[in-house]
A and B are shown apart, each in its own frame.
Chain A
């Protein structure tokens, strides 16, 4: 009567190690911060986003597939003892053009833009690069790693990408220019005594520009990175609420003001009509130690995918469809099934070697609106997991085990 538990399938190539199952470190007392912008929860600080992602696999980088690892280039080379990203001449000029147009859009006059671009595209001496790197604590590690690079091959670049993730946030080009000017003029970083949540990260970037083989013959020159691309970590509503409510390690700010738990609950409920059901399911699976990831809708037609430990280690084991039921177990289905759609979904799920799970959240009859307005109502809900599978009647009879 009970479905058997099938062991999750490990991925063929596992290149990471699990840091921690959840982003908790009592000794460090780190408290993470996220902003609620335009109905999305974003973590801007790179350190926070790294910890939140790597310890529990919450969230997704906005410019990347999973963890925020957007880089100006995917190719890295060693150049005079330092590891730098490589960019072709054409691409470099394109980047410079973008900076120019951004500055003109800000209202700069042509001459100023031209001067800035000239200044930006000066070739850099390697001593400057090393000085820069030596001047900052974070970059020291980069320098050391730069020396270590020659010994390791291949698998190094993903690690380097992680350390290089410190890029700045700059939707406004003016601010980017001022920071560039800062880095032009003074090599020290201003210690920020102001505890503003401004995501300023020190450290200009350098890159290696390869001139076209026709003209320069593959000559490599070190230049400054024209602009910085920032990447945030985006958390889904359920992930953010879990970090705030269950673990107490995240705060969500709306227009610089932190939201309390009840305010966050109400905000999320207004953003999504059945937030309670989807959050209850998310919470349930997290409290079993599994990693639920949303976004399975576009790929597999379901609400959640369940991973053991995290996406880099195992293939997803279950595709979960969230349903709600009332006290008499009658469902008011969030997505009504017909046999045709259920058959289709079952086939798709079997084709990708996963199991289809329907997860029912059962609401007691006497749950009032006032109770629903606070996350304490979660204690009154119940979860029923049902595995749907297709039975083939004509399979080899000798090999048939229990259904």
Chain B
């Protein structure tokens, strides 16, 4: 009936000598000796069995050196077999307990707890609670103690086996199997693990007020020396949480309003810009339209090939200031009448008086200046490809503006558009200020907006975990702040997304949350912590 399960070797167990559940302590019955040949399973040890159990070797099988791959040798096979056998024999060892050391308890399914019927042992310091004048244990604690060999639980006057314990104590109402595995793992390492009760966690508002935390582990009210209000502890926190929720809602609404206001402001400057560009676009070609108008009126005399541009290379513009030796004819011929406005008659022009008014003396230049003059003569602005691409004066001016912008570090294609760079590189600025200037993306923290998720149900914290070295001073009535909180999930479950992380952070408050991932008995723990990368400015 008492099946033995020992998946780990418990260092802190003294092998005790009784398997019996019902007999009074201390009796060793010899009457079963004769029937002990394997037909009837006796729970009380015969003297020889007891002696065998007591003098069992306590050696833990040592793990030898690792062989990395099979080499089909007999020696390797033998070693492996030997090692396996050692492990199997260790696992199949029956644990022997002294009857007197077993604490008795009773399973109460209606309340899903175990009531102790004999005084609790050392474990009472960190486990169990008092209810109705009796000492009680939570189901996971009871199962753990059963596995340790400290506790015997009865149900309807029959002792429960470990298997019964697993079946009865672990359920959806209490603790799931995976959660129990994590519980057991942590307890065996020495941690103190208590159940997490969300309602006993003070809200953030209460935390702000620095209210002392109450701990009712089984829902019972505890008397406090100082009470801030005559009402029991649950209601102030409830009202506080409601008030705080309202506060948060209102602040969130304010934030949203501010955002929408900001958006409206942004929208306003855009339409006027659009208009001005349209004007510019229209304005650029007004003189082209006029030229077209003229040429139409002239009935096709003016423009060749139907285009509105004149071919300036074919029109001769006399250079009156030319210093060449060729004499100009004393008068100029009138230009082509098609180039002139209508009704304008031009005759020959006597240019001699004009030339007299011009200073035609040669300039004396030094050697350097002459060289420069020679280069300047050779330099033709039209040799530049970009200049050749400009079709009219306005485009050439744009090119000049672009070049100027580029030269000065503020090119037009970046600065003359709707979206400009965040920083003007021609402005000197200290690095720290520059970093502030370009920080347009706001950092946020886990608790921001987390209150919206508080009704969600899928990720829950199960346990509070306290560090092992605090066991000596541990008081169940005032455990203090836990070291961490546990949330248990399976290895096949999805990884928590941001929503889940926020939800857990909200439930926990300021204690870090550890997620225990259970993979058929193997447990790994991961934390997802909030972080703000510090700004790094170095001169």
Contacts and interface: CB of A to CB of B under 8 A. Distances in A.
Interface of A: 1-3, 5, 18, 21-22, 24, 26-27, 29-31, 193-196, 244-249, 251, 258-262, 265, 280, 283-290, 306, 308-309, 318, 323, 325, 328-331, 333, 337-340, 342-343, 346, 357-358, 360, 362, 364, 374-376, 378-394, 397-398, 400, 402-403
Contacts of A30: 409
A249 B420 CA distance: 12
A210 to B, nearest CB: 45
A1 B536 contact: no
Given A26-B425, A288-B536, A382 B444 contact: yes
Interface centre among A18, A246, A283, A383 (most CB of B within 10 A): A246
A2 B535 CA distance: 16
Contact of A284 (B441, B501, B509, B525): B441
B441 A29 contact: no
9 contacts: A5-B534, A22-B434, A29-B425, A31-B406, A261-B414, A283-B438, A390-B524, A391-B484, A391-B527
A403 B420 contact: no
Contacts of B495: 337-339, 342
A280 to B, nearest CB: 6
A245 B422 contact: yes
B379 to A, nearest CB: 7
Contacts of B69: none
Contact of A343 (B379, B411, B524): B524
A378 B440 CA distance: 7
A243 to B, nearest CB: 9
A288 B534 contact: yes
B428 to A, nearest CB: 4
Given A29-B407, A383-B441, A390-B525, A339 B517 contact: yes
A398 B467 CA distance: 10
A262 B528 contact: no
Contacts, number: 255
Given A379-B441, A400-B467, A194 B383 contact: yes
B121 interface: no
Given A283-B441, A390-B525, A196 B431 contact: no
Contacts of A381: 441-442
Contacts of B443: 284, 382-385
Given A251-B414, A289-B536, A325-B497, A246 B423 contact: yes
B476 interface: no
Interface centre among B431, B495, B530 (most CB of A within 10 A): B495
Contacts of B411: 31, 251, 258
Contacts of B280: none
B423 A248 contact: yes
Nearest to A251: B411
Contact of B424 (A248, A309, A387): A248
Contacts of A362: 444, 498
A12 B70 CA distance: 42
Contact of B525 (A333, A387, A391, A397): A391
Nearest to A374: B419
B73 interface: no
B530 A2 contact: yes
A244 B524 contact: no
Contacts of B186: 393
Contacts of A333: 497
Nearest to B412: A258
B533 to A, nearest CB: 5
Contacts of B190: 397
B444 A3 contact: no
Interface string B212-225: 00000000000000
A33 to B, nearest CB: 9
A175 to B, nearest CB: 17
A323 B438 contact: no
Interface string B422-451: 111111110100110011111111100100
A353 B191 CA distance: 28
B529 interface: yes
B389 to A, nearest CB: 10
B538 A379 contact: no
A225 B525 CA distance: 61
A386 B528 contact: yes
B531 A262 contact: no
Nearest to B185: A393
Nearest to A324: B498
Given A3-B530, A194-B384, A262-B417, 4 more contacts: A29-B408, A251-B406, A289-B538, A387-B529
Nearest to B405: A31
A289 B114 CA distance: 59
A306 B509 CA distance: 29
Interface centre among A330, A333, A384 (most CB of B within 10 A): A384
Contact of A385 (B266, B407, B428, B533): B533
Contacts of A193: 379, 383
Nearest to A290: B536
Given A362-B444, A386-B531, A287 B384 contact: no
B189 interface: yes
Interface in B22-59: none
A40 to B, nearest CB: 20
B413 A259 contact: yes
Contacts of B369: none
Nearest to B421: A248
A329 B453 contact: yes
B499 interface: yes
B491 A24 contact: no
Given A287-B438, A288-B535, A246 B422 contact: yes
B427 A26 contact: yes
A283 B440 CA distance: 9
Contacts of B446: 1, 384, 386
A21 B468 CA distance: 47
A383 B509 CA distance: 21
A400 B191 CA distance: 12
A8 to B, nearest CB: 9
B442 A331 contact: no
Contacts of B164: none
Interface string B245-284: 0000000000000010000001000000000000000000
A121 B499 CA distance: 70
A21 B491 CA distance: 44
B531 A1 contact: no
B537 interface: yes
B384 A378 contact: no
Contact of A260 (B413, B422, B532): B413
Contacts of B467: 397, 400
B428 A26 contact: yes
B505 A1 contact: yes
B385 interface: yes
B531 A260 contact: no
Interface centre among A328, A339, A374 (most CB of B within 10 A): A339
Nearest to A288: B535
B512 interface: yes
Contact of A2 (B427, B438, B502, B532): B532
Contacts of B530: 1-3, 384-386
A228 to B, nearest CB: 25
B537 A289 contact: yes
A336 to B, nearest CB: 8
A383 B537 contact: no
A383 to B, nearest CB: 5
B514 interface: yes
Contact of A290 (B407, B434, B483, B533): B533
B441 A386 contact: no
Contacts of A385: 443, 530-533
B395 interface: no
Interface centre among A287, A358, A376, A387 (most CB of B within 10 A): A287
B469 interface: yes
Contacts of B415: 248
A287 B435 contact: yes
A249 B514 CA distance: 46
